Amino acid sequence: MNEATKIAMVALSLTSVFAFAALLQPVYSQSPLEGISKFYATDINEGQIAFMWLGEGIGEWAGTATAGVIAKTSKHTIMIDPANVIPSDAIDAMKSLDLILITHEHSDHFDPDFTVAIHKRTGTPVVVSAGVYPFLQESIAMDKLVEMLPDDVKTVNGITVRSIPAIHPADRPVMYLINMDGLSIFHGSDSGFVDQLNDIGSEVHLAFVPAGAPSPTASPDVAASMVRAVKPYVTVPVHGMFEEMKTLEGMVGDETVTIIPAAYVVKVPGQIVPEFPFAALVFVTAFVTAIIAFIRIKALSIRNND
């Protein structure tokens, strides 16, 4: 083996190592302030949805995934079940918000002071379950506070919200089906499965489903049943341990595009480049390039010997 051939083989080996290392890179979370700022700076087109998961809980809920998310279309922005996980500097970075939605009163979904702080910062209406309403009725004006009983349908700020009865040990908890700008978003809170989801009668583009802990009613099995009932194009597991999210992905991966979220990382489902195919492309391209180089060097060596 001549010197040129050795160089080509070393280049191939190094390129392969780097490409496979790309396959193993985790998706790192970023700070709430950076995440919120990037979320508002993300431009999307009509017919697209951008979303961002609000990460793990704090205090007694530390180490468990919340159900909190923020999502937007080209014209509207909503936040669901933020609890109290966004620090004040990140709240100050919120440029606009068209709706806050709260599914029930448990502290890993709802914090009165935090909700009022976001409302004051953005002036947005707050849509809440009947169990949440008493906690806010003296702090938020009646024309900005919307109570949702199970099976209600109301339009607020151009966004149509349908409440679906939830199974959970709370005061009249609900799940939400939200339609804005022709796109439909489902949020399953941390509910158990209800048969009513089988008759949802609406195309669902994006579904946030509860994968499990610390909810006594949520689990990968329940989330999979939700997915099979509402048939979303894209599914995002929330409210569960990472292992539970992966279990759900394995259960429904052939039925929906499943995105396991990273805290405060903006996702635009229609534009996401899956990490594995991208790294695989890098590897294949590098491999083919190295083989071509090897063949050319070999051919040159043969001609020189002649």
pLDDT score recorded for residue 132: 98
Q: What's this model's pTM, rounded to 2 decimal places?
A: 0.79
pLDDT score recorded for residue 303: 56
Residue with tokens 């149509």: 160
pLDDT score recorded for residue 169: 97
Mean pLDDT per block of 10 residues along the chain (306 residues) reads: 53 44 40 95 94 86 86 97 93 94 97 96 97 98 97 98 98 98 97 96 93 95 98 96 96 95 91 40 53 60 56
Residues in the chain: 306
pLDDT score recorded for residue 304: 56
Strand partners, 192: 167
pLDDT score recorded for residue 118: 96
Strand partners, 99: 78
In the sheet that 99-102 helps form, which strands lie side by side, from edge to edge?
50-53, 69-72, 77-80, 99-102, 126-129, 145-148
pLDDT score recorded for residue 125: 98
